[in-house]
Amino acid sequence: MSAPQRLGILLSGRGSNFLAIADSIAEGRLRGADIAIVISNKADAPGIAVAAERGLPARVIEARGRRRAEHDEEIIACLREHRVDLVCLAGYMRLLSPDFVRAFPQRILNIHPSLLPAFPGLDAQRQALEYGVRVSGCTVHFVDEELDHGVIVLQKTVPVLDEDTAESLASRILKQEHLAYPEAIARVLSGEYEIVGRRYLPRRNKAS
């Protein structure tokens, strides 16, 4: 069997998507992957404390007061040091510099709590609610140099209910995020796809 592929997780906060990925690996639902390093740009991110409690390599690389390029260089070096194959942004609240994106071409994933291209940026669930859409969801996509913009790997939908608040909609979407992210990572790690224009296309099984 080939060696597991090495994930680098970047987070800034709660870390529930990171945990969903870690649990999927621990429970054998995401085969062929290992978490090589968890990095937070904030020392007080609950997610980084959980990573350390679980005995995963965890590092804080503070962003505050530093130029983006310099901060990103340190993160890239840390990811390289841990021989990361795929970078997963999991609530990482900082734009990546173009150099970062170029350092891992089509090897950075992000999850966003809306059906992109609708409602990029902050507070996506509130944006969706206030716009009046009847369906929302989450998107896992490759990261390119524009915000919430790269090729879409997977989307999951949820209904928007009349009685929803931004919080209730966010928690319905979050349940789908926890399914979507491990599933998208498995798809990307399989390598069984091609990207045509903006489209992610799974390769057809030759036998079928």
Task: Give 14 or 66: the residue with its C-beta nearer to ligand GRF.
Answer: 14
112, 136, 152, 158: residue in contact with ligand GRF (rule CB under 6 A): 112
The strand order across the sheet containing 33-40 reads 58-60, 33-40, 5-11, 86-89, 108-112, 135-142, 152-159, 199-202, 193-196
Judged by CB under 6 A, the number of residues near ligand GRF is: 14
Give the CA count within 13 Å in the CB-facing half-sphere of 106.
Answer: 14
Q: Which residue is nearest to ligand GRF (CB)?
A: 91
Tell me the closest approach of the beta carbon of residue 124 to ligand GRF, in angstroms: 8
Residue indicated by tokens 């007080």: 44
Burial code of 127-161, b = ≥16 C-beta within 10 A, e = fewer?
A: bbbeeebeebbbbbbbbbeeebbbbbbbbbebebe
Map residues 81-110 to x or -, x wherever contact with ligand GRF holds by CB under 6 A. Answer: ---------xx-------------------
Told to judge if 112 belongs to the known catalytic residues of this protein, a careful annotator would answer yes
**Site track for ligand GRF across 35-54, x = CB under 6 A:** ------------x-------
Query: C-beta of 33: minimal distance to ligand GRF in Å?
Result: 17
Phi, psi of 174 (to 5 degrees): -60, -40
Q: Show which residues are catalytic.
A: 112
Query: Where do contacts with ligand GRF occur on this chain (CB under 6 A)?
Result: 11, 13-17, 47, 90-91, 111-113, 174, 177
